[in-house]
């Protein structure tokens, strides 16, 4: 039987509009193709796990509303266990306002809503009960909850994969408990105190090593269309991305993490898992939406 992957994180309804180019501050522009589709970094990772035939279980929080129901339905359709998703009356389901420009690049604003109600105790309990082999984390639920989940999973011997998105400073204790850290460039810069700086490709190995020095066992630095850079105790190497015509980059990183976990759960080694995840992420970029792609 395949190893179970537990995903602790956010579920958001994404409200998406397409534009020619992203607006500047204070500018009003006209867009087209408005739609709403299931998203949220946690749920997107879970959806990728399910669509790629992984055994996945989602732990999160939704509001008692129609968006929450749609998000549950999307995960169930992907084959994900959802009995760890709690509905609360305290907040509406999380939502994200997403603008996608012609080049496929996006801007995202998240209103956390019910995601902020996910508590440390319930994730500890869920992990203790499910005993997953892999835990997928991101940062759209309270940091105390992420820290509790990482600690519990580590104590049980699970592999902990953290996508440090959206960017925020993290404690040394959390980073030292992570097996695989998967930041993008801006998240990497923030973790290293280099905010506002652009990383050139020839600086990537140094940046990846500096991230490794923060405590995780392995770093997979996401470089968008350039691919990823892997660094751990034994190696430092580039894995180029598949070349595709981008339509919408939303959730490519989420899909990467879900696919990485599935490949590792199937017993593939890190290099094979990264190649597989690169292919899955490239496919999502060729289609609109988060879970839809
Ligand atoms: O990573 C993409 C996701 O970020 C979107 O689906 C949106 O909900 C935000 O969480």
Which one of 14, 163, 248, 254 is the catalytic residue? 254
Ligand 1 atom 9 nearest Cα: 40
**How far does residue 237's CA lie from ligand 1's centre (Å)?**
28
pLDDT recorded at residue 275: 98
Best residue for ligand 1 mutational test, from 10, 16, 44 (most atoms within 8 Å of Cβ): 44
| Per-residue pLDDT, 72 | 98
Residue 197's pLDDT is 73
What is the pLDDT, as a whole number, of residue 63? 98
Residue 56 CA, ligand 1 centroid: distance in Å: 19
Tokens matching residue 286? 């060729």
For the question of residue 65 being annotated catalytic, the response is no
Q: Quick one: tokens of 205? A: 């190995």
User: Mean pLDDT, 10 residues at a time, over the chain (293 residues)?
Assistant: 94 97 94 97 98 98 98 98 98 97 95 98 98 98 98 98 97 98 95 82 92 98 96 96 95 98 98 98 96 95
Q: Atom 1 (ligand 1): residue with closest C-alpha?
A: 251
Structure tokens at 285: 């970029």
Burial of 64 (0-12, 13-18, 19+ CB in 10 A): middle
Residue 263 near residue 134, CB atoms below 8 Å: no
Classify 172 as helix, strand or coil: helix
Instruction: Please give all residues whose beta carbon lies within 6 A of any atom in ligand 1, as ranges.
Output: 10, 12, 14, 39-41, 44, 96, 108, 110, 140, 250-251, 254, 290
Quote the ligand 1 centre to 41 CA distance (angstroms).
5
């Amino acid at each position: 039987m395949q190893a179970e992957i537990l995903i602790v994180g956010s579920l958001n309804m994404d409200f998406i509009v397409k534009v020619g180019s992203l607006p500047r501050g204070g500018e009003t522009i006209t867009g087209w193709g408005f739609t709403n589709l299931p998203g949220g970094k946690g749920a997107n990772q879970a959806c990728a796990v399910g669509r790629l035939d992984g055994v996945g279980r989602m732990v999160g929080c939704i509001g008692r509303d129609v968006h929450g129901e749609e998000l549950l339905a999307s995960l169930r359709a992907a084959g994900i266990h959802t009995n760890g998703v709690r509905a609360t009356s305290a907040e509406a389901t999380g939502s994200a306002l997403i603008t996608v420009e012609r080049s496929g690049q996006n801007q995202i604003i998240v209103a956390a809503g019910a995601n902020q109600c996910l508590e440390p105790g319930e994730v500890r309990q869920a992990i203790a009960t499910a005993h997953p082999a892999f835990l997928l984390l991101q940062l759209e639920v309270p940091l105390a909850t992420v820290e509790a989940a990482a600690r519990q999973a580590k104590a049980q011997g699970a592999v902990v994969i953290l996508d440090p998105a959206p960017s925020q400073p993290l404690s040394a204790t959390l980073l030292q408990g992570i097996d695989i850290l998967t930041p993008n460039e801006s998240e990497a810069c923030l973790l290293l105190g280099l905010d506002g700086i652009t990383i050139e490709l020839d600086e990537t190995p140094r940046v990846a090593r500096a991230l490794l020095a923060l405590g995780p066992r392995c770093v997979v630095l996401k470089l968008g269309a350039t691919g990823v850079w892997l660094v751990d105790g034994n190696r430092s190497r580039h894995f180029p991305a598949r070349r595709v015509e981008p339509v919408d980059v939303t959730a490519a990183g989420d899909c990467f993490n879900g696919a990485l976990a599935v490949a590792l759960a199937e017993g593939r080694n890190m290099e094979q898992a990264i190649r597989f995840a690169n292919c899955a992420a490239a496919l999502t970029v060729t289609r609109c939406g988060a879970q839809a792609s």
